[in-house]
Amino acid sequence: MELNRTLILKAYKKAKKRILFLDYDGTLVPFSDLPGDSKLGKEIRNILINLSQDQKNRIYIISGRDRVFLTNQFRGLQIGLIAEHGYLVKEADRDWQMTVSLDNTWKITFSKLFQEFSLLYPGSFIEEKESSVAYHFRTADKKVGSKVRPDIRKYLIILQQQYPRLELLDGNKVYEIKPESFNKGKTASAILRKENFDFILAAGDDLTDEHLFAEFPHKAFTIKVGLPPTLAQFYISGQNEFIEFLKCL
């Protein structure tokens, strides 16, 4: 259903111990043609500073971005960071920690595969992270997505016989291969199990955030940034509207 601001604000004011999980791209900042250009603006930074200075709040940025990018964007803020779809976690004022142990020998194969696609479709490019390999085509021809998707899925089906525990993430003009042993939902749930919170909120815009919505308890407020379908309890039309909602908090 459409976001019920009154209901959430009432619960927020009443709560004594709150936790918020916020996606980055498409939720806090708009998408850019190049991933490195999606920088955290002054307005959003100030909102996060205000939220994190409330002693009742604990804030986590939960993203597919790598640890270096998130560290640079949120330097100086007293918030937790979750990178690479739940693979890495950094509590405020602590070092990064892995949530699972990985054998990444598979990455060589998929890096070569995506490199072939990037040569075939000018403007597209690959991004290799610690736990995954991503193929970006936002800056390629508009028709690339419809052409690439069936080919990637075809190769994935073949390669999954050799690497059965990998999954394909279908993002916003990006395809990413990662192990299925971790996701945003599993990592966030592990954090929730450590303490009791009387206000839980999660917001995100793409399919990787559906793991988050699926794992969270019924009492949580889950928000899809964008239109349904979604497993989230609520939806809000877009990123700008979500920022206005954060201002209300």
Distance CA 106, CA 102 (A): 10
Single out the residue of 158, 173, 61 nearest to residue 113, CA to CA.
158
Q: Is 23 annotated in the active site?
A: yes
Q: Quote the strand ranges of 73-192, DSSP E.
A: 80-83, 88-90, 96-98, 125-128, 133-136, 166-170, 174-179
Tell me: cis bond preceding 229? Omega within 30 of 0 counts: yes
What does the block give as tokens for 51?
């939220």
b/e map 221-240, b = 16+ CB within 10 Å: bbbbbbeeebbbbbbbeebe
* 80 contacts 206 by C-beta, under 8 angstroms: no
Which residue of the set 23, 25, 66, 206 is catalytic?
Answer: 23
Catalytic residues, which ones?
23
